[in-house]
Every structure is written in C-alpha cells, then in structure tokens.
A and B are shown apart, each in its own frame.
Chain A
Amino acid sequence: DQQVKQNSPSLSVQEGRISILNCDYTNSMFDYFLWYKKYPAEGPTFLISISSIKDKNEDGRFTVFLNKSAKHLSLHIVPSQPGDSAVYFCAASPLPGGNEKLTFGTGTRLTIIP
C-alpha cells in the first residue's frame, strides 16, 4: 500500500526553465510534508517542508504547494540549474512539524539539460 506516490519516475527540463515535481498521498492523517534531494552515493538531504495548515512555502528557488482537498503537493524549482539534477523524494509525517516515521515516495529523477 503506497501511501505516498510519485508517479513520474523521471523528468527532464531545460536549464533556466521551471521544474515541477508532483506527489500524491492517500492517508488523510498526514500533517506535514517534506521534499528531499538525493545525489548518487549520498544520503538524502532536506530541501523544504510544509505544514498542512499552509498551502505554499517558499525558499529561494524552491516552492512547495499543498492542495489538501486533492491530497496533492508539488515542488517547483525555478530557474532550474544543472546542480539540481538528482532524485527527489516526497515524504509525509502524521505529526505537526514532525519528523517521526516519515513515509517516502519512490522518487523522481530530475535531469536538467544544459
């Protein structure tokens, strides 16, 4: 039972354009959502998070949007840079601001084309 789904295994975007990565979840108990980025041979690194009481959170080039009614969130990267090429994981927690027991999606491999 995949509670957090990333239906696009891969995405290619031209440098300078916007990258949009999508994530859907099924468990309405999830209260906090995070995005992680992973380079080969490294552990995942935190990018940005959003609480269920918000619908948008922005940090520099990265913006996360949350649509609770649709159980959908997205990560926008603009402008995309070659260093953004990585695997991106969406994750969800049942607790407000919580980092316990994160449930991860299967990841989307983003490739930025110079």
Chain B
Amino acid sequence: DAEITQSPRHKITETGRQVTLACHQTWNHNNMFWYRQDLGHGLRLIHYSYGVQDTNKGEVSDGYSVSRSNTEDLPLTLESAASSQTSVYFCASSATGSQPQHFGDGTRLSIL
C-alpha cells in the first residue's frame, strides 16, 4: 500500500545544530507540506511544494528550509536549531489542490 513515512520519529538535539527531518511518500503525489503542531497554536504550515524543484514558504518558515529534488521526498532542514523549534512536525501530501492531504506519523523534536 502507498504510504507516507517520516523519520526519525523522535529526536533530541542541541541548540545551534543543523537538523534534517525526512519525509517520503509513495503515492506519487505532486503536493507535499510540512506543518508544526504546538499546544495553543494548532497546525501551522512551514513550507510546501507543488512539484519537483518547487518550494514555497508557509506562515512560520523562518529558520526552516526544504528542497524537492524528486517527487517522493521533501526533507525539512533546521539550519541552526533553536529551543523555540521544539515541536511535533508533520509531513503531508496530496494528489491535487482539491484532494485531501494525508499525514505521516510525525516527528517529535526536542531542542535543548
């Protein structure tokens, strides 16, 4: 079955380090999204991509970057991790703009 997988599931790191979270989908979806979820803020969009070589900033993109070199993967990089980036991160994908997004299981990131 097609799926979307995130890795790692849990990560603890130190401030200032570079961190990369992986997202891989086997649905061949064009659209991929990264969210963070924090108590009191709900799901907030970080970056998104509508296809290979396309990336766009979401509402909370500062301190994050993505790249899309193929259809299946959209890695999220924290260039210099900050404690404010401690959160649960979800990756999602959809086939088209009107189709539902399907979510990965999430990555719980703690920055000490």
A, B bound: no
Write the residues of chain A forming the contact surface with B, with a CB cutoff of 8 angstroms.
none
Q: List residues of B whose CB falls within 8 A of some A CB.
A: none
